[in-house]
Amino acid sequence: MSRNTIVSRALACIIGIGLTWAAASHASENLSPFLPGATTGVPAGALPPPGLYYDDTFYLTHGDQLKDGAGHGIPLKLRNYTNTSLFLWVPGWKLLGADYAANAIFFYDQHNVDTRAIGGYRSRSTGFFNPIITPAILSWNLGHGFFTSAGMSFYLPTGNYRYRDGKTLQTSYANDYWTVEPSWAVTWLHDGWNLTLNNVVDINKRNSRTDYLSGNAYYLDLTASRTIGHWTVGVIGNYSRQFSDDRQYGSVVGNGNRFEHMLVGPLLAYDFGRAKVSLRYLQDIRTRNDVAVSFAFASVSFRLF
């Protein structure tokens, strides 16, 4: 991979629950929008009792290198400050023998990008990311502490994105295309333990304005935690990999831009009764064809009624 190709890709920024970067000298697009580790810390295979729930999460994303396919890095600086609001509705309905739920997630972000070390520029911008609507989550109680769930989410192309001369700008925040996101989770809950694997796939639609198609990607969020009294401690992780090439005008972009991430870190939470506060951190331990980023999360969640 040539330095010029890497430089053109590096004119980019972390955007909410994904990364945006220039994939070639003539175009730039966002990667799949799911935020690695976003569903860690919760028993994604199980649903809470009927009610309306709210979760507010603030997270910091930071990265200082863009890695190529061999893991070699070049410098850049990314700092993102994002607030997410999630509403989860569990009406108490049964469908196909499963508990039914739906949710909606909204994002607001300030992202700071500095690519001057590789011939780019420094920028700061704020905006809304694509809202995420999940009209159906189904959770089955399998017995003996095992639960499994399946869901289908949709990313609406209504966030903040910016173009110049037909190219996506570094200051863009959202994706100007639809993403369909099926998920499947397995959870084991017993004696305070929460062991959860959540599988997520992003299927991206083509950006009609730039004719850019971001490759589809697979994500695995993992949680292993134990609750003792009001405290919960544990370990979380994520593995992410793009499994189809980026394409534009019918051709593969660069080497396909197939990214890969591995992240791991701690979880600490405290249940106050009416609300639960949690802290999570995911440290990058492996990145390919992407910006090497780590995430710090602070969340508060409670039942509205």
Count CB atoms within 10 A of the CB of residue 188. 18
User: Could you give the CA distance from residue 76 to residue 65 in angstroms, rounded to a whole number?
Assistant: 5
Give residue 207's domain range. 3-303
Statement: the pTM of the whole predicted model exceeds 0.95? no
Confidence (pLDDT) at 116:
86
The tens digit of pLDDT for each residue in 156-185 reads 998 888 888 877 777 777 889 999 999 999
The tens digit of pLDDT for each residue in 249-301 reads 999 998 899 999 999 999 999 999 999 999 999 999 999 999 999 999 999 99
Count CB atoms within 10 A of the CB of residue 70. 9
User: Could you give the CA distance from residue 190 to residue 169 in angstroms, rounded to a whole number?
Assistant: 48
Confidence (pLDDT) at 30:
54
Domain harbouring 219, CATH code: 2.40.160.40
Confidence (pLDDT) at 171:
77
Handedness of CA 39, 45, 46, 47 (dihedral sign): positive
How much of the chain exceeds pLDDT 70, in percent?
90
What Rg, from alpha-carbon coordinates, does the chain have? 19
Instruction: Tell me how many helices (H) and strands (E) the chain has.
Output: 1, 22
What kind and span of H or E run contains 10?
Answer: helix 3-10
Query: How many structural domains are present in the chain?
Result: 1
The tens digit of pLDDT for each residue in 205-225 reads 999 888 999 999 999 999 999
Residue with tokens 């893991």: 71
- β-sheet bridge partners, residue 179: 155, 204
Is the predicted pLDDT of residue 155 greater than 50, yes or no? yes
Secondary structure E strands in 68-204: 73-90, 94-95, 98-114, 122-128, 132-143, 146-155, 163-164, 167-168, 179-190, 193-204
Residues 6+ apart with CB under 8 A from 287: 65, 67, 71, 259, 260, 261, 262, 293
The tens digit of pLDDT for each residue in 222-256 reads 999 999 999 999 999 999 999 999 999 999 998 89
Query: Is 224 exposed, middle or buried, given 0-12, 13-18 or 19+ CB atoms closer than 10 A?
Result: middle
